[in-house]
């Protein structure tokens, strides 16, 4: 029975729980008993014990829940409530200006306690370089192996902390759109933790190069990633010097970051951009001694360095425009010119539309977003606004297959609905199993944004296994991170108020039929998380 | 109640998936084909060693493999006056070569000059002409599979990988499952049926039911493996174990298979007769030998091609490794091929013959080489051949 959700009384929930949801008697009783405390608690927080919600809330139609799912890492009661109170437009405005949001206190404390939250990457990089140097000088043997292991363990721990912070925020932050955008841009400007010393840097890369700019102007993102030692090492620009050209970063900057394949640049442009980028690199050691005329062009900030002695000052032509040799200013000019190309507006808009709207986004939508991009000097927030409030976006709702990160995070958000998890290892294991670990994409193209990359037969059965791991137990999500002892037992109750308000009314008959055939709550949970409705948004 | 009758009871939804037809009927006799993709660009010059080239030894002061010495049964195995096989695969691939079950195609590869792993792997798997735009939903194994079975009939292709490779893009739904770490199937018959039925009529219906069924099928096959292992006490592991499992599935159910193996990107500390590359090659060689023996009589009906996206620089680099190159050596294996030979267009290896003064040139285009093998294996018509590899006339290497 589709619910008309304009009133939220306990009564109709009772009717649904007992009346027609479950086949087997025992399950019906189990659900009934579970549901009542959930409802009371849900109402009590808002109404001081009253069982009637205080303010009249908007009904959640199918489009509302799908829209909310798309612009977040999945539904939880808090996001549904916020959407119902604010309405779509104001909800979106808040999400696009997330400054006022705060993480739940225990999560915030957890994150503050992480070593990675107090990173000084240039110091870390200097340390790790020195340690590797010392290691290489050691004689082979047990001592060397031990030192190597200690160094590796530390790198792994720091990268894991960055992942842990990332996942805790994705699951718990009320600034859900911001968290999705962090994922999107980290994937767009992808780096791989196992290259060079990147495990020491990925946390800082996310925190300082990506996160502050997710709703800003696109150029800021390009410049911030361009000046971060993680990107410079990942794509080898730290090796790029006059007379020893390394084109790797220049190529990907055009192909993957800004213009896209077929974006109107040539192999010659790649070579010219590589020359522009000479001298842009990483230094955590001594400042080089330079002649005075070069010295004034020398730049250093943290581990980032522009060394004019390594720069090619010759005249260049990029995308048909002359670039005069003047040092790092060339890089800023070149990036400005690149991001102002219509091809860049189209490419970035299309990538955003693929991730949020549809695998084959409607050309009219991409065009409108590109226009916004060009009129606003690449204002990402404005581009997103034009997408999320468009008719094409509404028309595409329900057809986007969740990539593994969206799938896993949305399942946890739905299953635990605001209850903070303490252990993120199971999430990382699932993401590994589904092939989408954070900072785990080896190639610079980032993970696929479309269903094609994630819905093979093997991946679907893997997804169902994870549905079962989440639905049939607590999967260790409440264990201590490092301890062996389990802190919690049991399994989540997915058939609660959130389910009845925002999921159940929109389930297909086949899915309801499957749920009715469940023999236990765990199995019911597993089927729900395996349903097409849970994999598509 | 048996599994089969359970499935029948599942009703029209299940039957219409064509599951039972595919799963329980072994493919009619016919050739089998396995593609082994070495991801990372393996160093073919330290596998098939051009030992008559003094330039090889000049180019690799630290990592060259010593010339074969007929006085010893160890070290490199001379295959003819110019080429020798790396010591690491002497026992496995070497002995198969002597039985004429292996041939090599040096100077093989693609037109792709990006020297980028992902770019070149993609372009090989798609198998499309390099001019014109790419269709990422059409891989050459997908086209082959469709050519052999027709779009309406259940296909019998499988990828032994976690994600479906681009090579199988397009065409019918191809099941995929890595055989590396097999657990118990997570769902029983009833649960699997309920899950499948939730997707009835959905475009993922086939993927969902194939995936769930494959897990069961593999579990049944592997129950046999465990019994066998207990009896013979053979402790296979790593790629050998995977190869044995692949053989079991391809013997009974599948005709076209794909597997990829990583770990070939030897920029640093590659090693020579022993070392990183040698141990990877040794494991690969042993695995392929296990694959051939596990197939039993069907080995004579099977063709395996081992390839990699590109070769590596002919000269060693400053880190006793090699960098991304161009031409490479493809392997062709099969129980009834006219092997024991080194085939295709060849060139003497001197500095002048290197491509861009650094790499093996490509004289044998991979599309023509594979297209020729496919044509002989399945007697394909010119129209079928050109559907699989457009604008690449098949070349007959006289192996099949």
Q: Are B288 and B240 in contact (CB under 8 A)?
A: no
Q: Which of B137, B159, B200 sits opposite A510 (nearest CB)?
A: B200
Chain A hits for B204, CB-CB cut-off 8 Å, are 455, 460, 532
- By three-state DSSP, how is residue B85 classified? strand
CB distance A457–B200 less than 8 Å? no
CA atoms within 13 A on the CB side of A275: 18
Chain B hits for A526, CB-CB cut-off 8 Å, are 191
pLDDT (tens digit per residue) in A255-274 = 999 999 889 998 899 999 99
pLDDT above 70 (res A495): yes
Cα separation, A189 vs A224, in Å, equals 10
Whether A23 and chain B come into contact, CB under 8 Å, resolves to no
Distances (CA, A) of A273 to A279, A333, A342, B117, B245: 12, 11, 18, 22, 50
Q: Supply φ then ψ for residue B103, to 5 degrees.
A: -135, 160
Chain B hits for A457, CB-CB cut-off 8 Å, are 164, 173-177, 206-208, 210-211, 214
pLDDT of residue B150: 59
Chain A hits for B201, CB-CB cut-off 8 Å, are 510
**Cα dihedral sign, B273-B274-B275-B278:** positive
pLDDT above 80 (res A58): no
Q: Are B329 and B345 in contact (CB under 8 A)?
A: no
Provide the shortest C-alpha distance from residue A325 to chain B (in Å): 28
Cα separation, B342 vs B363, in Å, equals 14
Chain B hits for A531, CB-CB cut-off 8 Å, are 198
CB distance B207–A443 less than 8 Å? no
Supply the pTM of this predicted model.
Answer: 0.82
Instruction: Give A210's pLDDT tier (boundaries 50, 70, 90).
Output: very high
* pLDDT: which is higher, A360 or B22: A360
CB contact set of A94 (below 8 Å; sequence gap of 6+): A82, A86, A100, A101
Q: Of A367-371, A482-486, B182-186, give the lowest mean pLDDT range.
A: A482-486
Chain A hits for B194, CB-CB cut-off 8 Å, are 514, 517, 527
pLDDT of residue B72: 85
pLDDT of residue A284: 93
- By three-state DSSP, how is residue A20 classified? helix
pLDDT of residue A488: 67
Cα separation, A231 vs A201, in Å, equals 10
pLDDT of residue B85: 98
Q: Which of A445, A460, A527 sits opposite B194 (nearest CB)?
A: A527
Instruction: Give A486's pLDDT tier (boundaries 50, 70, 90).
Output: low
CB contact set of A495 (below 8 Å; sequence gap of 6+): A17, A21, A31, A34, A35, A521, A524, A525, A528
CA atoms within 13 A on the CB side of A388: 23
pLDDT above 80 (res A384): yes
Query: What number of H helices and E strands is found in chain B?
Result: 13, 11
Whether A457 and chain B come into contact, CB under 8 Å, resolves to yes
pLDDT above 60 (res A215): yes
pLDDT of residue A218: 98
pLDDT of residue A57: 63
Chain B hits for A513, CB-CB cut-off 8 Å, are 197-198
pLDDT of residue A20: 32
CB distance A457–B197 less than 8 Å? no
pLDDT of residue A484: 60
Q: How far is CA A418 from the centre of its chain?
A: 19
Buried b (16+ CB within 10 A) or exposed e, A238-250: bbbbeeebbbbbb
Buried b (16+ CB within 10 A) or exposed e, B119-140: bbbbbbbbbbeeeeeeebebbb
User: E-strand spans in A278-409?
Assistant: 280-282, 299-301, 304-306, 316-318, 321-323
CB distance B194–A456 less than 8 Å? no
CB distance B118–A458 less than 8 Å? no
pLDDT of residue A35: 35
CB atoms within 10 A of CB A286: 6
> How many beta-carbon pairs under 8 angstroms link A with B?
92
Burial (CB < 10 A; 0-12, 13-18, 19+), residue A105, is exposed
Q: Which of B117, B176, B195 sits opposite A457 (nearest CB)?
A: B176
Pair type for strands B364-365 and B84-85: unpaired
pLDDT of residue B1: 34
* pLDDT: which is higher, A373 or B73: A373
pLDDT of residue B114: 78
Distances (CA, A) of A12 to A35, A39, A497: 12, 11, 11
CB distance B200–A532 less than 8 Å? no
The tens-digit pLDDT sequence of chain B (400 residues) is: 333 333 333 333 333 333 333 333 344 457 999 999 999 899 999 999 999 999 999 999 999 999 999 888 889 999 999 999 999 999 999 999 999 999 999 999 999 887 877 789 989 999 999 877 778 889 999 999 888 875 544 458 999 998 899 999 877 788 899 888 777 888 999 999 999 999 999 999 999 998 999 888 888 877 776 665 544 444 556 899 999 999 999 988 889 999 999 889 887 789 999 999 999 999 999 999 999 999 999 999 999 999 999 999 999 987 788 988 999 999 999 999 999 999 999 999 999 999 999 999 999 999 999 999 999 999 999 999 999 999 999 999 999 9
Q: Which of A460, A468, A523 sits opposite B207 (nearest CB)?
A: A460
Q: Which of A435, A461, A530 sits opposite B163 (nearest CB)?
A: A435
Residue B350 DSSP code: S
For A363-386, what is the mean pLDDT?
98
Instruction: Calculate the average pLDDT of chain A.
Output: 88
pLDDT above 60 (res A29): no
pLDDT of residue A503: 95
pLDDT of residue A141: 81
Q: Which of B173, B187, B198 sits opposite A514 (nearest CB)?
A: B198
Burial (CB < 10 A; 0-12, 13-18, 19+), residue A376, is middle
CB atoms within 10 A of CB A490: 9
pLDDT (tens digit per residue) in B279-324 = 999 999 999 999 999 999 999 999 999 999 999 999 998 778 898 8
Chosen for mutation from B194, B196, B209 (greatest number of chain A CBs closer than 10 Å) is B194
Closest Cα in chain A to B161: A458
The DSSP element (H or E) to which B145 belongs, if any, is: helix B140-149
pLDDT of residue A174: 97
Chosen for mutation from B211, B213, B268, B319 (greatest number of chain A CBs closer than 10 Å) is B211
Closest Cα in chain B to A511: B198
Query: What number of H helices and E strands is found in chain A?
Result: 26, 5
By percentage, how much of chain A surpasses pLDDT 70? Answer: 88
CB distance A464–B187 less than 8 Å? yes
User: Which residue has tokens 């409440």?
Assistant: A478
pLDDT (tens digit per residue) in A321-335 = 999 999 999 999 999
Chosen for mutation from A461, A508, A510, A518 (greatest number of chain B CBs closer than 10 Å) is A461
- ipTM of model: 0.86
Torsion of CA A232, A237, A238, A243, to 10 degrees: -170
């Amino acid at each position: 029975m589709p619910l008309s959700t304009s009133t939220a009384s306990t009564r109709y929930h009772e009717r649904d729980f007992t009346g027609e949801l479950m086949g087997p008697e025992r399950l019906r009783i189990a659900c009934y008993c579970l549901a009542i405390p959930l409802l009371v608690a849900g109402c009590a927080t808002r109404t001081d014990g009253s069982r009637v919600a205080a303010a009249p809330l908007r009904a959640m139609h199918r489009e509302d829940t799908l829209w909310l799912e798309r612009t977040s890492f999945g539904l939880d009661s808090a996001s549904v409530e916020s959407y119902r109170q604010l309405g779509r437009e104001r909800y979106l405005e808040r999400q696009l200006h997330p400054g006022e949001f705060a993480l739940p206190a225990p999560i915030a404390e957890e994150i503050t306690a992480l070593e990675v939250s107090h990173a000084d990457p240039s110091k870390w990089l200097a340390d790790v370089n020195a340690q590797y140097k010392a290691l290489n000088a050691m004689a082979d043997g047990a001592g060397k192996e031990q030192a190597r292991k200690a160094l590796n363990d530390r790198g792994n721990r720091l990268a894991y902390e960055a992942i842990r912070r990332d996942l805790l925020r994705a699951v718990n932050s009320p600034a859900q759109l911001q968290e999705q955008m962090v994922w999107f841009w980290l994937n767009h400007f992808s780096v791989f933790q196992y290259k060079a010393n990147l495990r020491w840097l990925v946390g800082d890369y996310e925190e300082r190069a990506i996160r502050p700019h997710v709703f800003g102007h696109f150029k800021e993102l390009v410049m911030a990633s361009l000046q971060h030692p993680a990107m410079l090492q990942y794509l080898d620009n730290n090796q790029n010097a006059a007379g020893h050209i390394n084109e790797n970063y220049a190529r990907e900057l055009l192909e993957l970051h800004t213009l896209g394949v077929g974006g109107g640049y040539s192999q010659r442009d790649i070579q010219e951009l590589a020359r522009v980028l000479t001298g842009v690199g990483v230094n955590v050691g001594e400042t080089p001694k330079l002649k005075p005329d070069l010295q004034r062009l020398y730049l250093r900030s943290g581990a980032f360095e522009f060394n004019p002695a390594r720069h090619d000052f010759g005249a260049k032509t990029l995308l048909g425009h002359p670039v005069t040799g003047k040092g790092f200013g060339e890089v800023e000019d070149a990036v400005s010119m690149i991001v102002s190309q219509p091809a860049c507006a189209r490419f970035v808009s299309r990538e955003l539309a693929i991730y949020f709207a549809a695998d084959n986004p409607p050309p009219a939508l991409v065009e409108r977003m590109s226009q916004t991009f060009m009129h606003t000097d690449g204002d990402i927030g404005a581009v997103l606004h034009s997408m999320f409030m468009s008719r094409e976006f509404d028309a595409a709702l329900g057809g986007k297959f969740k990539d593994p990160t969206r799938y896993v995070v949305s399942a946890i958000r739905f299953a635990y609905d605001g209850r903070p998890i303490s252990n993120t290892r199971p999430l990382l294991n699932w993401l590994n199993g589904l092939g989408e670990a954070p900072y785990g994409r080896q190639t610079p193209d980032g993970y696929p944004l479309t269903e094609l990359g994630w819905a093979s037969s093997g991946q679907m059965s893997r997804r169902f296994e994870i549905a079962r791991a989440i639905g049939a137990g607590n999967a260790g999500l409440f264990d201590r991170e490092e301890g062996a002892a389990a802190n919690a037992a049991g399994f989540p109750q997915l058939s609660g108020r959130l389910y009845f308000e925002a999921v159940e009314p929109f389930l297909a008959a086949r899915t309801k039929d499957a749920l009715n055939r469940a023999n236990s709550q765990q199995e019911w949970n597993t089927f729900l998380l395996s349903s097409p409705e849970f994999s598509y948004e | 109640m048996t599994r089969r009758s359970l499935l029948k009871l599942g009703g029209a939804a299940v039957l219409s998936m064509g599951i039972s037809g595919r799963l329980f009927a072994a493919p009619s006799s016919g050739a089998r084909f396995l593609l082994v993709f070495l991801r990372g660009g393996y160093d073919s010059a330290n596998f098939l060693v051009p030992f008559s080239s003094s330039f090889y030894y000049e180019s690799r002061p630290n990592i060259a493999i010593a010339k074969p010495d007929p006085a010893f049964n160890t070290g490199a195995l001379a295959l003819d006056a110019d080429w020798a096989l790396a010591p690491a695969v002497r026992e496995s691939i070497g002995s198969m070569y002597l039985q004429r079950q292996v041939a090599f195609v040096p100077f093989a590869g693609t037109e792709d000059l990006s020297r980028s792993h992902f770019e070149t792997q993609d372009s090989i798997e798609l198998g499309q002409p390099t001019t014109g735009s790419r269709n990422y939903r059409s891989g050459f194994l997908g086209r082959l599979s469709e050519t052999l079975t027709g779009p309406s009939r259940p296909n019998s292709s499988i990828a032994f990988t976690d994600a479906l490779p681009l090579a199988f893009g397009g065409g019918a739904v191809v099941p995929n499952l890595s055989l590396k770490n097999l657990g118990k199937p997570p769902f029983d018959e009833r649960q699997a049926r309920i899950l499948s039925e939730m997707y009835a009529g959905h475009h993922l219906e086939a993927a969902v039911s194939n995936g769930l069924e494959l897990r069961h099928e593999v579990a049944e096959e592997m129950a046999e493996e465990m019994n066998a292992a207990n009896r013979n006490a053979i402790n296979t592991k790593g790629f050998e174990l995977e190869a044995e499992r692949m053989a079991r599935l391809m013997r009974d159910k599948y005709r076209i298979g794909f597997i990829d193996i990583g770990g070939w990107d030897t920029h640093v500390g590659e090693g020579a007769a022993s070392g990183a590359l040698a141990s990877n090659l040794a494991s690969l060689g042993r695995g392929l030998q296990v694959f051939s023996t596990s197939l039993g009589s069907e080995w004579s009906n099977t063709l395996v091609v081992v390839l990699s996206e590109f070769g590596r620089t002919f000269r060693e680099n400053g880190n006793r490794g090699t960098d991304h190159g161009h031409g490479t050596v493809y392997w062709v294996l099969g129980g009834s091929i006219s092997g024991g030979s080194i085939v295709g267009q060849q060139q003497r290896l001197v500095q002048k013959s290197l491509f861009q003064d650094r790499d093996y040139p490509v004289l044998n285009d991979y599309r023509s080489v594979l297209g020729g093998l496919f044509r002989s294996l399945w007697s394909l018509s010119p129209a079928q051949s050109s559907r699989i590899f457009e604008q690449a006339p098949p070349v007959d290497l006289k192996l099949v």
